[in-house]
Amino acid sequence: MTVMKITLGCLYPDIMSTYGDRGNVATLLRRCEWRNITAEVRELRLGDRFEPGEFDLIVIGGGGESQQRLIASDLHKIKGPGIREAVAQGAAALAVGGGFELFGRLYQPGAGAELPGAGLFDAYTIGHRAILDDHYDTLSEARADRAIGDLVVRWGDQLLVGFENHMGGTYLGPAAKPLGQVVSGFGNNGDGSEGARLGNAIGTHLRGPCLPKNPALADFLIGAAVMRRHRDTELPPLADEAERAARQIALRRAWAATHGRRARVTLRPPAAGPRWGSARRRGVPGLSPQGCP
């Protein structure tokens, strides 16, 4: 019997984990355990080098501008080349929030020098000025200039759910493909796109953490990591009743946010027509309410 083993590299766990991002790592480990896959976690901190042949799955969480400033140079110079090589070799990756922004080419804060990124995704992020620099007259005005709330994304035939909270916009270059299409929320920059994908690497604004409520995304990452070491291996399905219930609650909230009332939400194919998301909230195409009071 073949013993399947993967190695997960967790980047800056002491700095980049502002939205419970360790929950993404815990989800990956538990779903591996349920399938008798041995998953070893190695934490890489400032100054640690990334050896591309050693890792099958890479995870980086989110962080604010102050956290991004702490890691940007290290990520760009020390870890970036190895990360790019590992993904080119077939490794999987999940970059969330501020980590996603720094997996692009650069992040330009609202004030101060730009921060270089790992250069994995052909993307760049332009931030807004900070709330406390007198750019805004009121906190309400500042919040209105921020993408914050439930985010629903169509990824193939799946709907991914999570929470977004970011200022500014992420823009994809010609070599980048979005992870999916915004169904509800803001996404990258309001153009209807969300996240980025390169091979088995995923970048996204979905937070919360995102993997406990999106088992299909977790299994995509695990499956890619396993295939890197064990070819022609299929993951056995899991029941996922609790995960489906959590997704349903998130979808219900997304509907309520756009319609101002509680509703039971079911999935249907997206309507044909123009891309969604040019405004922060445009209803919820792809969702259908039932039993609205």
For residue 91, what is the domain's CATH number? 3.40.50.880
Return the higher-pLDDT residue of 140 and 291: 140
Residue 245 in domain? no
Residue 207 DSSP symbol:
B
- Range in 134-143, 165-174, 203-212 with the lowest mean pLDDT: 134-143
Residue 40 in domain? yes
Per-residue model confidence (pLDDT) at position 145: 60
Per-residue model confidence (pLDDT) at position 230: 87
Residue 114 DSSP symbol:
-
Residue 119 in domain? yes
Look at residue 125 and give its three-state secondary structure: strand
Residue 255 in domain? no
Domain extent at residue 87: 5-240
Number of domains in the chain: 1
Residue 283 in domain? no
Residue 152 in domain? yes
Residue 273 in domain? no
Q: Flag whether pLDDT at 143 surpasses 70.
A: no
For residue range 228-261, list pLDDT tens digits in order: 988 888 899 999 999 999 999 999 998 888 766 4
Angle between helices 215-229 and 22-34 in degrees, nearest 10: 70
Residue 289 confidence class, pLDDT cut points 50, 70, 90: very low
H helices of 47-116, in order, are: 65-74, 80-88, 98-102
Residue 290 in domain? no
Sheet order of strands, 193-194 included: 158-166, 147-155, 180-184, 193-194
**Percent of the chain beyond pLDDT 70?**
82
Cα dist. 290→250, 254, 264 in Å? 15, 14, 5
